[in-house]
Every structure is written in C-alpha cells, then in structure tokens.
Structure 1
C-alpha cells in the first residue's frame, strides 16, 4: 500500500439519503398483524450518500456517481490497496460526496420488484472492462496482475435491486446537490447518462467530468446521429428538447477514455463495445460545442497516457489521472 503524500484533517463527515419516493398500500395498518402490508409504506428509490468535508475546504465539492454494477466503493481504496479518488481529492481539500445510486448498493431499497439472479460472469467483465482477454492481461495494462487484486476487483460488483432508471437516478442526484451545494459532478460509465440529466434538471451542477460514459448520450431531437451497431448491440442516441440540450452548453464538460479501444470494427465484442461509445462521445462533444458549449474529449493514449482500463481513476497511474482532472478544474475555475 502507498504512503500518504500529505496529511489532512476532516472537519465534518456523515451520510444521508437523498430523493426517493414513498409507496403505500391501501387499507389500514394493523399493529397486531405487523407484516400485513395493508396501510403500510415503503420508502425507496433514494440515493445513499457518504460525505467528507476537509478543513480549509475548496469552494466546490466533488460529487461522485459510479457506473454499472458498481457502488460508491469504486471511488475509494483501489483494488490493489492504494488511495482512490476519494482520498486523493480530500488531500487537495475538495469536499467529496460519494453516491450509491437508487436501487444499488447501500441505496438498495427499491419501490419496484427485481429478480436478482446469480450468474457467473466475472470473466466477461474482465474483458468488457478492458483489463485484457481473460486470462491474459493487455500488454502494459495499468492493473496489478496478482490474484488478490483481481479478487478485490471482482468483489466490487453489486446488482441492481430494481430496474435501472436514468430519471429516478437523476431526480435523486438533484436532491444530493441540494445538500452538497453547487458542485462538480464526476461520473463513470453508466453514470454518464444520469449525469447529463442531473445538469439539465439542476443549475447547481457547475461542471462535469465523465470517465468512459457508456450510454445515455443526449442530442437535440432534430439533430440525432445514426445508431451505432457493435459487437455487444446497438448504441442509440437519446432525443431531448433543444432547450434541455442547451443547458449542457452552459457548463464546462470533459470526457476521458482509456486505452485498448479499436478505431475500426473489431471481432472482439468487448473491445468493439467501446469503439462505438468513444465514437458517439466525440459526436456528442462536437454537438455541444456546435451549440456554443465548452466540452472536451480526451482519449488518453492520444496525450501519451497508456494502458488505462475502463476504471482509469483506480488504475495504477490514478495519480496521473487525478492530476489531469485537477488541471482541468483549475483551468475552469472549479477548484
């Protein structure tokens, strides 16, 4: 495990639920038949948030939203035992808010039923998250190649306890921001779509940094790009009203993608999956800028940063990845 580069003090920390709904059954509550659902309520579909505010805090908190199959754990200690973005940015005196999205992790209370199956899919995720082609690692990959690390990595996965819903998630995120105050939103993968919607719904999002958004790319309803077939299915743009899209042009946005993403169609479905997402992200950035926005796409190998997986913020070079984000925050007066 790495040694901390500097000490810091926490002025305040805690946790809270944000957003959500209440479902109620008809009838009258019976205090004798306690578990008869009649007349009883269910509080669910909220986000669960853990926050830490360091002494001498910077102006804008960083609000972290995880990706598919993940929870707030993804931003904490890395699978190989080093500091993750949670601690790296606390050391830089940013308040951090770590979110478990509705129907995931510690926010698992859902108001809709879900059949959770137990499927053996670790090796599929190894490939999909671009660590390599199981059991082989990519040459130069920024991932520790020991079994203890891989064990920790696989154990980060956690299932949905209800249907994934961008609107439910973004509604909850709006309430997270009411608690955090004006903030910069940091998203990963499937969290990208809810991130855009959060900024559309709340003027408290002052900037967005998105790591490898995988879906949910929103375009003006009359300016949609073509669907993009890939080895894992077809990636489709989401149509929204121009007035909503223009809200995304009012804040700085940066998107990062890592290594081992082919530029041409690949017979490897896991790699081809990311080919179309990188391509769609570039079209999305172009569209934001076409309408007067300030969006940037960074393909890390193009700037000489190699070997990153789908989780650049927890890869072996995550200090370098964090530094890139710190520079962007400073350039955009978000630090």
Structure 2
C-alpha cells in the first residue's frame, strides 16, 4: 500500500511539474522554488583524432610506443535532461582558461546557468573543449607554466583594477568567492586550436541533434566555425566573444589597436559561402559593463573596448548579408556592473531572463 501511495505521489508531482512548465508563470519563481527533477543524465566524448605508432607492441616494453594507439582532441560532454524537456537543448561552450565549471555553481554558491535553464525545462549539455578539463588528452605536446598571474585575470575579466573591485561590480566581493573563482581557472594541455575545437563541437551536435549553442569569450571563435560545419546549430547566444570574429573575404575590418599587451585585435577571413551559414540562424551577443568608449591605459578594459567594437561590425556584416544578429551592451539597456562572467554574476537570473526572452522570441523555447 505504501508503494502505491509513493507511486501516486510521484506521478502527481510529475504532472504538476509538467503543468508548471507549460504555463506562463514567472521564470524567477520557478528557479527559486521548484524541486529540480532530472529524467536522464550522463556523459560522453565526441570527435577527436587517433593515431597508431608503426611497429608491434611488446608487453615486456610497455613504455615503447611501437604498435600503440593514442586517442585525443575530443570534447567531453556532461548532460542533463529534465522531465518534459523543451524541443531544443542548450549546448554550453566555455572560454579561455575555463572548463564547463564556468556554467555550474557560481563562485559564491548560487545556481549557475546549468541549473537555471534545466529548471526552465531545457536539456543542458556542458562541454569541456579539446585539450582542457576532462578532455585533457591532447594530440600535441605542450608545457604548462606555473606563474602567479591572478592580478592579470582579475583585470582582464573586469572585476576591477587590482586589487580593488569596481564600485558597482556584480561580482561578490568576499575573499572566499574570489578564491573559488581563481581556483576554477584551468590550463590547456595542448595549444589552443579553434579548428580542433570546432570539429569536436560539430561532433557534439551530431550527438545532441538540433540545438542552441551558448558560448563564452574565446569559445566564440570556434562557435562561429561550428555553425559553418554543422547545420544542426539553430541559434547562437554568445557571451563576450573575444577573438576570431569572421568576415567574408574582402570585407575584413582593419586591425583595432589597443593598450592590451596582446596587441591589436584582428579578424579572420572565410569564403562568402561559409559566412552565409551565419545568416541562416538568429545570433545574439551580450557584453557587460565597465567597457570604455574611448581608448584607455587600463588595458584590462581597453581590450574589451575593441572587442565590443569588432562584435558590432561582425553583427552589421551578418545583417548586411540578410542575417539576424544583434549585439546587446547591457549598460545601454540599464543593466549595470556585469563582469566578463555575466552569466555567473550576482544578477545572473536577470541575465538568464534576457536569454530566455531571446529564445522565446525566436521560437526556440
């Protein structure tokens, strides 16, 4: 009798959850108050390469590579599917120095986009790109330097000007949160290669089927290339893409000088046919706060000045060729204080609302 009652209770909960998802109730209430119910979760590896060394393997000489294989340059993917999942899953790709951790719990312990959008009924796929995190098996050798550089990270991620936070910053200012943030930074195990990442991401979409690609920072460049490679990408939401903007041959903007030690920002060239892939889907690009309008000696901000400017040229080019691209600079719509990690900032529920509204407007929810 107790088992029957438990089954009835579970079924009633599932029905109520389904009704809750299907009705138009407030998304923030859903995030804060509902029990998180997952129907399926798991992980897989996608894409990559493999080599076999000529020769015959000798079990008495196991460190000799002869006759042995090496698999690497794949992506690692952890996924969760909620009950009554929406049609299109969200595939999240991190940026430089990060892993899929960037989308998980925030440095101060709040829910990140992984759980926020899972609660909203989306299947979520969190990717570790090739040569990073749980996809660390690289097909090329590299060395990992041990160098104190967290003041550099603090400034380029626009938390402030070391060691002071920006007064209005949406990052928690307690030492514990900053420590958690710094500890999530992780190195490459092989040189970053946007084409290797894009190949692996295309393989991810072969597994997930049609879905929405959500990128951050350096993940933006491989994201555009993934769209070119795989028509299963139905839209792109890009948070502060920082490099490898692509333009058709003959339309590439001039390099944009900056005080950043990386030097001038340059764009990449692709064929018009390849570029046209970007015009077939909706694209939205978000940038946070504390990005100056004029050149400044504060390189951690100036580098984002030119990246925002390049993103606007990129969107204009897509639209000029008949596409649907938009750049949203959050302070211009009244949202202040966001860092480079706006999706994990203190107002990440507000940021998630913007993304949800975009998905709804484009019929992707």
Q: What TM-score, normalized to structure 2?
A: 0.90
In structure 1, the residue matched to 2:116 is 88
TM-score, normalising length from structure 1?
0.98
Matched, 1:44 2:69: no
1:72 aligns with 2:100: yes
1:249 maps to which residue?
Answer: 279
More helix per residue? 2
**How far did residue 139 of structure 1 move?**
1.1
1:316 matched to 2:350? The reply is no
Counterpart of 1:264 in structure 2 is 294
Q: Is 1:299 aligned to residue 325 of structure 2?
A: no
Tell me the secondary structure at the aligned position of residue 184 of structure 1: strand
Contact residue 8 and residue 55 of structure 1 kept, 8 A: no
**What SS is found at the alignment partner of 2:121?**
coil
- 1:30-58, Cα deviation, whole Å (9 max, x unpaired): 12211211111110000000000000100
Aligned length: 334
User: What does residue 319 of structure 2 align with?
Assistant: 289
Separation in structure 2 between the aligned mates of residue 225 and residue 7 of structure 1, nearest angstrom: 49
Asked if 1:212 is matched to 2:237, the reply is no
Shift of 1:179: 1.1
SS of the equivalent of 1:263 reads: coil
Provide, for residues 219-252 of structure 1, a one-character-per-residue CA deviation record: whole Å limited to 9, x for no partner.
0011111111111211111000000000100000
1:334 aligned onto 2:355: no
SS of 2:223's partner is: helix
Any gaps of 5 or more consecutive residues in structure 1? Answer: none
Contact 1:8 1:91 in 2 (8 A): yes
Following TM superposition, the consecutive aligned residue runs of length 4 or more in structure 1 with deviations greater than 2 angstroms are: none
* Greater C-alpha Rg: 2
In structure 1, what is the equivalent of residue 303 of structure 2?
Answer: 273
Shift of residue 5, structure 1, vs aligned partner: 2.3
Q: 2:268 is matched with which residue?
A: 238
Q: Which moved more, 1:229-238 or 1:272-281?
A: 229-238
Return 5+ residue gaps in structure 2 as ranges. 1-30
Is the Cα–Cα contact under 8 Å of residues 69 and 159 in structure 1 kept in the other structure?
yes
Offset of 1:4 from its aligned partner?
3.7
